[in-house]
Amino acid sequence: MAIRTTSAGAYPKPPDEGQTFVLRKTLQAMDRGEATAEDVQRAVEDLGRQMIEEQEKTGVDLVTHGHPGWEDILTPFARHIGGFEIGGLLRWFDNNVYYRRPVSVGRIEWRGPSSVDAFKSADSVATKPVKAVIPGPITFARLSIDEYYSDHDKFVGAIAKVLAQEAFELEASGAEVIQIDEPALLDAPEDLALAREAVGTVTGELNSATTILATYFGDAKRLGAELFDLPVDGFALDFVAGPDNFELVKQFPKDKILQAGIVDARNTKLEPVEDIVDLAQRLLESVDADRLWLAPSASLEFLPREKARAKLERLTEAAGEVGA
Amino acid sequence: MAELHKPDLPGAGLWTTSVGSFPKPDYIIKARSRFARKEISREELRELEKKATKDWIDFQESIGTDLLVDGEMYRGDMVAYFAEEMPGLEMGGLVRSYGNRYYRKPIATGPVGRDEPITVEWWKYAQSLTDRPVKGMLTGPYTICDWSFNEHYESRRDFVLDLAKAIRDEALDLERAGCKYIQIDEPAASTRMDELDLVTEAMDIVTEPLTVHTLTHICYGDFHHAYPKMLDIPVDQIDLEFANSEYTLLEEFGEHPFTKYIGLGVTDVHSHLLELVDDIADGIRKVMKYIPPERIFVDPDCGLKTRSIDEAKAKLTNIAKAVEIVRSEL
């Protein structure tokens, strides 16, 4: 059987060179008082539809909703969850990309879904399954400022509860795969036990959805194979920024899915298809073909649109050759 | 570095300055897009940019700024501005930095260098408009590398060191033209702690032959991990954001004294909110517990280009007022 392929998160918003960047213009017009929130919403939905169509056209098996309306991966959630305010800008790991730090100022409470409408909107236009993406509780907590709980474990626990509700609602809305992003866990081996509990809270109420715990921007060697004990169905690892992950996956459990980030989502240089095939073959020594998903190393939003698309095309071409 | 180059400025310190960019008036924004569509000539655009530059120089003089910037009316993105002029770098497509902000990210496709001076003519023009000193503004080699794609170099170090030689040549040309303050921005320096040595190595290439006051601006990072190691960067002054980080860096200064001149960012450039004069004055007083006034420059956290012109002027005016108050207490 052919190896599956998937997107890993957000998709670039700017259009191909020479085309009008409608969402950007609409947001600018809204700043000047010349467009409404409805105009922006329409532009977000149009862009979301393009993102889905474009991903599907590359042949990728599992698409993401592309996050057309998200500022970053935390803000849309922090805005909906009770107890959070939105703080100052900070660098998103080692990228020239920024996010706003959520600041917890009160009791964290569920106030309705944050990402379900966006998921449904994407799912309604997709012909392939859409993977929902949510931040994980450890990353959410570590990238926030806690001014209320003053206790990391309690803070993580409170976030995990609302994310559990979010995951539950996503599943109820038809999400078959839910990716839980935990890039901050790579630098926090001391949080691994806490992660087991908190991620368990997030996945605990789900019935059938496949859950993937996603790490990126580095290797997981400080976490070691214990990472694979977390209560999810699979793990996303970044083999570009973290080549040591090739060693780690020698201990990959037989019953889990490996979403393998093997094309560089952060550099424009296009990998030759045969190189991608070689990397996939190497991974097949540790993981069965039906449990290996090939993916970009992280969200493709770090790349211009044409390059992102080309990366996915090469990925699917390589997957076809590995499977053949 | 052995000895710091003293600034040659009047008064006993707490000099006011700016980090670099100011907001562009509408007529520049329109002219830039008309130029991009080839509807006006480069000369027509340049005349407008000169007018806007003069307006900003006049404004800074009017509020008593000690060390001026030209406001970068003629620059877009701080990396692209250099990349467009450097062989080996090509302009890539748009990528997002945050929210609705995007930039063209350059791609290294061959060995990187510099053929001609890039910033000298503009610096000369700005300096001709005022008797007060105007800073020369360069983007640092580490940041150009970090904010570019790399399709050519085997290692980041090779890429950074080639860039450092090109930026050194530009800095030397500025110095020869009479520039006394050269800022080499490294906002990316706080990105990876394991590469701070590379930032330092590259900066040493740039500043080693210079005899003028040099400084670098660093932002958005994990200063608590970068400090005190960032003091190794061979410049006379480091400019840091204090407003956005709520002055938490000061805790570190208690433990490891700040050994250089400091550029003290006292207004958040990403907020529409105007900091009160009294709050800014308090911020300056807090820092003076750790660093004497004759080692302090006061400025906004970062370039002001994302604010409206009125907001930017209000923030700069409040900084000037706050400095006036604190100076009167010296």
| A41 touches A50 (CB < 8 A) | no
Decide: helix, strand or coil at residue B99. Answer: coil
> What are residue B15's phi and psi, to 5 degrees?
-80, 140
- Is residue B84 domain-resident? no
Say whether A303 and B244 touch across the interface (CB within 8 A). no
Contacts of A229 (CB under 8 A, 6+ apart): A196
Say whether A14 and B268 touch across the interface (CB within 8 A). no
The per-residue pLDDT for B25 is: 97
The per-residue pLDDT for B246 is: 73
The per-residue pLDDT for B223 is: 76
- Is residue B87 domain-resident? no
* A21 reaches B (C-beta below 8 A): yes
Q: Which domain does B40 fall in, by range?
A: 15-78+123-141+165-329
Closest residue, chain B, to A264 (C-alpha)? B149
Say whether A72 and B268 touch across the interface (CB within 8 A). no
> What are residue A90's phi and psi, to 5 degrees?
-140, 150
Say whether A97 and B146 touch across the interface (CB within 8 A). no
Query: What tokens were used for A244?
Result: 């040591």
What is the bridge-based pairing of β-strands B101-108 and B89-98?
antiparallel
Distance from CA of A199 to the nearest CA of B (A): 27
Q: What is the CA radius of gyration of chain A?
A: 19
Strand ranges across the sheet with A145-146: A82-91, A98-109, A145-146
- Is residue B20 domain-resident? yes
What's the number of domains chain A is made of? 1
Q: Which of A17, A27, A97 sits opposite B93 (nearest CB)?
A: A17
Q: Which of A14, A71, A91 sits opposite B102 (nearest CB)?
A: A14
Say whether A305 and B149 touch across the interface (CB within 8 A). no
Decide: helix, strand or coil at residue A70. Answer: coil
Query: Which parts of chain B register pLDDT below 70?
Result: 1-2, 220-222
> What are residue B101's phi and psi, to 5 degrees?
-105, 130
| A177 touches A131 (CB < 8 A) | yes
What's the number of domains chain B is made of? 1
The per-residue pLDDT for A221 is: 97
Name B96's bridge partners.
Answer: B102
- Is residue B196 domain-resident? yes
Burial of A264-283, coded b for 16+ CB within 10 Å and e otherwise, reads bbbbbebbebeebbebbeeb
**A219 neighbourhood in chain B, CB within 8 Å:** none
Distance from CA of B287 to the nearest CA of A (A): 21
Q: Which of B95, B190, B268 sits opposite A302 (nearest CB)?
A: B95
Report how far Cα B259 is from the mean position of its chain's Cα atoms.
20
The per-residue pLDDT for B221 is: 67
The per-residue pLDDT for B250 is: 87
Q: Which domain does A245 fall in, by range?
A: 4-323
pTM for this prediction: 0.91
- Is residue B59 domain-resident? yes
Measured CA to CA, the distance from residue A286 to residue A289 in angstroms comes to 10
pLDDT by 10s per residue, chain A, length 324: 579 999 999 999 999 999 999 999 999 999 999 999 999 999 999 999 999 999 999 999 999 999 999 999 999 999 999 999 999 888 899 999 999 999 999 999 999 999 999 999 999 999 999 999 999 999 999 999 999 999 999 999 999 999 999 999 999 999 999 999 999 999 999 999 999 999 999 999 999 999 999 999 999 999 999 999 999 999 999 999 999 999 999 999 999 999 999 999 999 999 999 999 999 999 999 999 999 999 999 999 999 999 999 999 999 999 999 966
Give the DSSP letter string of B191-247: S-GGGHHHHHHHHHHHHTT--SEEEEE--SS-HHHHTTGGGGSS-SEEEEE-TTTTT
| A88 touches B268 (CB < 8 A) | yes
The per-residue pLDDT for B280 is: 95
Q: Which of A12, A94, A96 sits opposite B97 (nearest CB)?
A: A96
Name which of B64, B46, B51, B57 is nearest B22 in CA terms. Answer: B57
CATH of the domain at B235: 3.20.20.210
What is the total residue count of chain A?
Answer: 324
- Is residue B65 domain-resident? yes
Burial of B211-223, coded b for 16+ CB within 10 Å and e otherwise, reads ebbbbbbbbbbeb
CATH of the domain at A86: 3.20.20.210
- Is residue B210 domain-resident? yes
Say whether B188 and A305 touch across the interface (CB within 8 A). no
Q: Which of A88, A269, A303 sits opposite B244 (nearest CB)?
A: A88
**A269 neighbourhood in chain B, CB within 8 Å:** 149-151
Q: How far is CA A197 from CA A179, A214, B102, in A?
A: 17, 16, 38
Measured CA to CA, the distance from residue B107 to residue A26 in angstroms comes to 29
Amino acid occupying residue B156:
R
Measured CA to CA, the distance from residue A155 to residue A140 in angstroms comes to 10
**B99 neighbourhood in chain A, CB within 8 Å:** 71
Query: What tokens were used for B147?
Result: 């904010």
- Is residue B4 domain-resident? no
Closest residue, chain A, to B104 (C-alpha)? A304
Q: Residue A6 carries which DSSP code?
A: B
CB atoms < 10 A from the CB of A92, how many?
Answer: 21
